[in-house]
Structure 1
Amino acid sequence: MRSEGHPISITKLCRLFGIPRRSFYYKPIQRTPKLNEDRVRRVQEKIEAFPTYGYQRLALLLGMNKKAVQRILRLKGGR
């Protein structure tokens, strides 16, 4: 519209299309997960010792949160 000589504000455009302005300005951020290498090493040692254990039992043995163990296994390709 601007090239045709009809400038219109972002606010009016968003209202016209029925979307919030914050959605117009939103830019997603890709975060890389941070892993504690000591925890990764401990999980890998337990996997080698007990290859049939799942993430819940590994978490119980290690005294860690099961979601943290599951994340380590998913990112490091443990299972």
Structure 2
Amino acid sequence: MRGERNAFALLDESSKVALITQLLEQDPGLLRVAQVVQKSHSGPLPSPEDFADYERALVGSCERILKMAERQQEVAYDLN
């Protein structure tokens, strides 16, 4: 295959679109779409969205998380 030319690369743009459209019509499962989402958050508490998720999963968990953070902060102040 090394010496062979790529026939697709030789097509003009409209021919490429037509060929891809034809292939997808023959087999709609041919096209796979993937989406990757990356979030970043820094701080002593979860992001607001994560906080809401915790509360939905377990009512009262936000209050518990806040109390835990407050206790950790008190300990940090006591050590200084």
TM-score, structure 1 as length reference = 0.30
TM-score, structure 2 as length reference = 0.29
More helix per residue: 2
